[in-house]
Amino acid sequence: MTRQVQDAFKAGIPIFIGYVPAAIAFGILSKSCGITLLECFLFSAVVFAGASQFIALNLLMTGMGPGGIILTTLLVNFRHFLMSAYLSTRIGRIAKKYIFLIAFGVTDEVFSVLSFKKGQLSKTFVFVVQLSAYSGWISGTIAGYILGGFLPEILTKSMGVALYALLLAILLPEIKVSAKILILAIASGILNTILIKLDILPNGWTIIVCILIIALTGSFFIMDEIEEKACE
């Protein structure tokens, strides 16, 4: 195994570990909602977007029709547009041939891992990370649907923290290097909390507004840095 593949697995395995419990929770919830194993599997296999899958199940239970569910999904997942915009500036020339596959696997966690990898992203690195995430999500979904009833509730609840811990763990090395990253992240979290409390935006759009406002504000500080360096 080359060094590159090893690095990719090192980056991908934590996502696998974070996704399995979250997907188990999705499988359990699917079963309790009365959908079939095939439908549950298809949710994870073709949509592959955690939060929106949970939301879709909730909406199904409230009796919302297909149009409403699909529109909500679009709103909830639109943040990936911004993440793809960022990643499109980072992938290497060879990886460009594979954008149709790469785009499918742009989840929050895959994006977070890829975004803090130094240098250009090779197709091997991107695919290994995405396949780790995908296989964790699918296997967890099926396991949850079939075995869910046997797991103690307290355990499945605790596993919900895994995704948040994953995101935090990805961010920590960056925070150590630059306090600005920490300030940006906290400011974004505070803004998101306020927007959710105000309850004026549809589900999922608070995150989009946070990314736009915070990244725009942050870009002014970074510009100063770039200009200072140019002056030295």
Partner 1 sequence: MNNLIPVILGMAAVTYGPRLIPFLFMTNREIPKRVDAFLKCIPAAAIGALIIPGVFSVTPDMPFAALAGMAFTMIYGLWRGGIIIPVLGSVAVTYLVLFFGA
Q: How far apart are CA 192 and CA 9, in angstroms?
A: 32
Q: How far apart are CA 43 and CA 56, in angstroms?
A: 10
Q: Which is nearer to partner 1, 2 or 89 (CB)?
A: 89
Minimum separation from the CB atom of position 68 to partner 1 (A): 10
Stretch that binds partner 1, among 1-9, 120-128, 137-145, 205-213 (CB under 8 A): 205-213
CA-angle at 117, arms to 112 and 118, nearest 5°: 145
Minimum separation from the CB atom of position 71 to partner 1 (A): 8
Stretch that binds partner 1, among 119-127, 131-139, 140-148, 221-229 (CB under 8 A): 221-229
Q: How far apart are CA 124 and CA 115, in angstroms?
A: 15
Q: How far apart are CA 163 and CA 140, in angstroms?
A: 13
Site for partner 1 in 116-175 (CB under 8 A): 116, 154-155, 157-162, 164-175
Site map (CB under 8 A) of partner 1, residues 63-102, x = contact: ---x--xxx-xx--xxxxxxxxxxxxx------x--xx-x
Q: How many residues form the binding site for partner 1 (CB under 8 A)?
A: 93
Identity of residue 61: M
Hey, what are 161's tokens?
């923290």
Q: How far apart are CA 174 and CA 181, in angstroms?
A: 7
Minimum separation from the CB atom of position 3 to partner 1 (A): 18
